[in-house]
Amino acid sequence: MPVSTPAPCRVPAPAMAHEGAHGGGDAPDVAPHEAPAVAKFHAPEVVFGVGSLVEAGYAAARLGARRPFVVTDPGVLEAGWADELLAHLREAGLEPVLWTEVTPNPKDHEVRRAWQKYAEERADVIIAIGGGSCIDAAKGVAILSGNDGDILDYAGVDQVTRPIPPMLMIPSTSGTGADVSQFCIVTDTERSVKITIMGRALVPDISITDPRLLTTMPEDLNAATGLDALTHGIESYVSLAHNPLADIHALNAVGLVCEHLRDTMTEPLDPGPRAKMAQASLQAGLAFSNAILGATHAMSHQVGGLLDAPHGVVNGVLLPHVIRYNARATPDRFVELARRAGLAVAGVPGEEAADLLAEHVRRLGDDVGVPRGLRELGVTEDDVTRLASTTLDDACLTTNPRSASLSDVHALFLEAL
């Protein structure tokens, strides 16, 4: 069976000056803040454009597929995209195996059942077509196919140490970025929390983004995934692990979402805004995969795990509060973010720019129908202590630009109610 060998991955540290970078001779005088930082940038092969789904059969064959395992969900199946994919795979001489038992916020037991089917069918290359839930479930199957134990054993960073099958990911939403990222999120149903699995091994081999697939998203999913992409862009740009290579993608994603998300809601069949949001999702995914995220995601994962709430919607509620919180630590980074969002912030102090950005994000949430508070999603004051406690264990919190104690996270949840 073809395998994709994982390479070491570590959560990047904040950019630091490097001493003794030159061997011998007189090194030039360089101020610490000017010294270049070492940055890794992980990315799959990317195929992008209207009609690019036709490339799926050739792409899978190049990865060594003979009996590819296709993970999707009933909605994508009903929309006809899975059938189109299967046809392309068969045209390439492949014998695909279809698995459709995936729900939003993929559950540990769903991953286990999918892995059993994968093993029984003697499948090889793993393909997902759908939103982040399908892609995360497919990554879970890949993990178990090359490693012992249970999917929950791999929570954390670089716990996947053995080779896994090649992966081809095809997103049908415009926000999760899972098709290019080194993240896999799975719900631990016994504890009602989401676990984060992270590592270079989980970066797919090939990502195919065909904007046509976005046109069949329900309106609420379009809004949720768009706000997820916006959150990815903002959080990765201010992350402690940000770097110039990721910054470019983060800023572009923020600008594209703020300019085009509303248009996809009012003119859902217009191919122009759909293509721009597909690009936003892709670039935001590249950004956060390499710069990691922050408190918004760390908190959102807990709400999603407890209530099975839509991830992007929770992000949209939390993000304005976290922006204001983080602006105390890194105000200057928010000036460029606000400018890319379309705000006039020339000469505006960082904390003021951050406040304007937070208001802008909230208005965007209003325009696309996102609740103003977590209470509308079912969160109560009685839940806050538990949510704050589990947030501290989430890997995304480690790269938040401002440290957050239990009481800080507790206060943020109360603000967001």
Q: What DSSP letter does each residue of 290-349 carry, written as one string?
A: HH---HHHHHHHHHHHHH---HHHHHHHHHHHHHHHHTTT-HHHHHHHHHHTT---TT--
- Quickly tell me which residue has 């892995």 as its tokens: 115
- Both tokens of 153, joined, read 């054993």
Measured CA to CA, the distance from residue 133 to residue 12 in angstroms comes to 26
Measured CA to CA, the distance from residue 142 to residue 126 in angstroms comes to 7
Question: Do residues 53 and 81 touch, judged by C-beta distance below 8 A?
Answer: yes
Question: Do residues 341 and 254 touch, judged by C-beta distance below 8 A?
Answer: yes
Q: Which of 196, 201, 189 is nearest to 165 (CA)?
A: 201
- Both tokens of 47, joined, read 């195929």
Residue 408 makes CB contacts below 8 A (sequence gap 6+) with: 325
Top CATH class of 45-213 equals alpha beta
Say what the alpha-carbon torsion angle 189, 190, 192, 195 is, to the nearest 10 degrees. -70
Q: What is the pLDDT of residue 39?
A: 80
Alpha helix ranges (H) inside 213-243: 219-238
> Homologous superfamily of 220-416 in CATH?
Dehydroquinate synthase-like - alpha domain (1.20.1090.10)
Q: HSE-up of 352 (CA within 13 Å, CB side)?
A: 6
Q: What is the pLDDT of residue 8?
A: 38
Measured CA to CA, the distance from residue 67 to residue 29 in angstroms comes to 58
Measured CA to CA, the distance from residue 112 to residue 140 in angstroms comes to 8
Residue 113 makes CB contacts below 8 A (sequence gap 6+) with: 101
Question: Do residues 201 and 38 touch, judged by C-beta distance below 8 A?
Answer: no
Q: What is the pLDDT of residue 36?
A: 57
Q: What is the pLDDT along the chain (417 residues), one digit of tens a residue?
A: 555 444 433 444 433 333 333 333 333 333 445 555 788 899 999 999 999 999 999 999 999 999 999 999 999 999 999 999 999 999 999 999 999 999 999 999 999 999 999 999 999 999 999 999 999 999 999 999 989 899 999 999 999 999 999 999 999 999 999 999 999 999 999 999 999 999 999 999 999 999 999 999 999 999 999 999 999 999 999 999 999 999 999 999 999 999 999 999 999 999 999 999 999 999 999 999 999 999 999 999 999 999 999 999 999 999 999 999 999 999 999 999 999 999 999 999 999 999 999 999 999 999 999 999 999 999 999 999 999 999 999 999 999 999 999 999 999 999 999
Q: What is the pLDDT of residue 38?
A: 80
- Both tokens of 149, joined, read 């134990």
Delimiting residues of CATH 1.20.1090.10 domain(s) in the chain: 220-416
Q: What is the pLDDT of residue 37?
A: 72
Measured CA to CA, the distance from residue 110 to residue 185 in angstroms comes to 13
- Separation in Å, CA 177 to CA 78, 252, 337: 23, 14, 19
Measured CA to CA, the distance from residue 269 to residue 113 in angstroms comes to 36
Q: What is the pLDDT of residue 35?
A: 55
Delimiting residues of CATH 3.40.50.1970 domain(s) in the chain: 45-213
Widest pairwise Cα distance in the chain: 67
Q: What is the pLDDT of residue 2?
A: 54
Pairing between β-strand 193-198 and β-strand 183-188 as defined by DSSP bridges: antiparallel
